[in-house]
Copies of this chain bind each other. A is one copy, B any other.
Amino acid sequence: MKHVVVLGGGFAGLYLAKGLRHAPVRVTLVDRRNHHLFQPMLYQVATAALSPGDIASPIRSILRKSTNTEVLLGEATFVDVEDKTVSLADGTRLSYDYLAIAVGARHSYFGHDEWEKFAPGLKSLEDALDIRRRVLVAFERAEREPDPVRRQQLLTFVVVGGGPTGVEVAGALAELRRFALRRDFRRIDPGEATVMLLEGGPRLLPSYPARLSDAAKGVLRRLGVEVRLETRVTEIDAEAVHAGGWTIPSETVIWAAGNQVGSLLRSLNVALDRQGRVIVEPDCTVANHPELFVLGDAAAFHHQKEFEVLPGVCPVAVQQGQHAARTILTDLEGHRRQPFRYRDKGQLAVIGRGRALADFGRLQLAGFFAWLTWVFVHIFFLIGFRNRVLVLFEWAWSYFTFQRGARLITGEISPVAPRDRE
């Protein structure tokens, strides 16, 4: 029986494994985590609206009915494409007939990896909890800070990158300070906190129509976010962000600009694009290796027009996973492979309470109806009945009470500056 190895339990990997559920193959899915993460809502964990358990499900449970699939907790470190084996970090070697690499992306600091410790990105649950801790601790420290200059620095939050993640994080931070924390502090007014969104390009949400980019900027400004376009970051240190000639004193910076793919793909010795993604063939495989698929954020799939690459979003990953499963079935039946075709169902970004943007090609929405669409689409794609109920309840609760349910600081808290007080 053919052995299909899948690296990564994100959307692409899961939909591939599910697509092979009734196929006469043996499937092994390898992930560094025991859970599948619903990344489109990760920013809500970072901004204390949801708990980690609300948007994650154990991969084993999701694939429980795929009796031909084994799930391994492990990290792939090397692929030998000639020998058709994958090595894991613990020394395990898996040989394969088909391999699908769907390991996603990490954030890229454009050659400035030293910025990462001051400006964490948002890809995993640990990242989200780290950002949540930094944000909430900043308010706690400001409450105890007698020096007004230091206090203002603690209450300045900078989001770098004006794509969907940056817009969503900035909107959520603006609401957090304005509503959820409003009455909890005695010395500071959390509503005074500054949220800045820095974007290097000329507009927010570059993948959306220009009209919606303007709408996003307008909504963010009404929420009190300071949006700066054409502002490239030149330096980040423990005290400030330097961008476009500005020095912005801030200790809480969130990185939402740029992706890059990990070292595993470099070990393949195949053509990569500038962000380290594998440039794939029309059937999502690597040139001359019809048994090797690269899917989701790890792949650069050139779409119709030559220079347009499919964006790193969830529907692309889902459809590529389904396509890879269909391709393997086609092979087994001895038929000819079909090229992958992306069916664009539109894009959605939420900015805040009752405000979102929707781009469905001809139909473009900004406001409450776009937000309702966002809510329904996300609940629909969220995996598991339990998570759907929990998230709906949390959202309803936040919507009506203006509160945030998951305001916990966990893990180590960095020491607070010493002060004498009466």
Q: Which residues in A have some Cβ–Cβ distance to B below 8 Å?
A: 32-35, 51-54, 56, 58, 60-61, 64, 67, 70-74, 89-95, 125-126, 129, 136-137, 140-141, 143-144, 183-187, 386, 389-390, 393-394, 397, 401, 403, 405-411, 413, 415-422
Cβ of A211 to closest chain B Cβ, rounded Å = 38
How distant is the Cα of A183 from the Cα of B69 in the complex, in angstroms?
12
How distant is the Cα of A306 from the Cα of B198 in the complex, in angstroms?
68
How distant is the Cα of A259 from the Cα of B393 in the complex, in angstroms?
38
Beyond the given A60-B184, A73-B137, A386-B401, please list 20 additional residue pairs across the A-B interface where CB-CB is below 8 A: A34-B136, A34-B408, A51-B53, A58-B407, A61-B407, A64-B184, A72-B143, A73-B141, A74-B144, A90-B417, A90-B419, A91-B420, A92-B421, A93-B420, A95-B422, A126-B410, A126-B411, A389-B393, A389-B397, A390-B393
Contact A408 B60 (CB under 8 A): no
Give this chain's copy count. Answer: 2
A90: contacting residue among B51, B64, B418, B422, CB under 8 A: B418
With both beta carbons as reference points, the residue of chain B lying nearest to A65 in the complex is identified as B183
A403: contacting residue among B61, B70, B405, B420, CB under 8 A: B61
With both beta carbons as reference points, the residue of chain B lying nearest to A126 in the complex is identified as B410
Cβ of A191 to closest chain B Cβ, rounded Å = 15
A397: contacting residue among B33, B93, B386, CB under 8 A: B386
How distant is the Cα of A378 from the Cα of B358 in the complex, in angstroms?
43
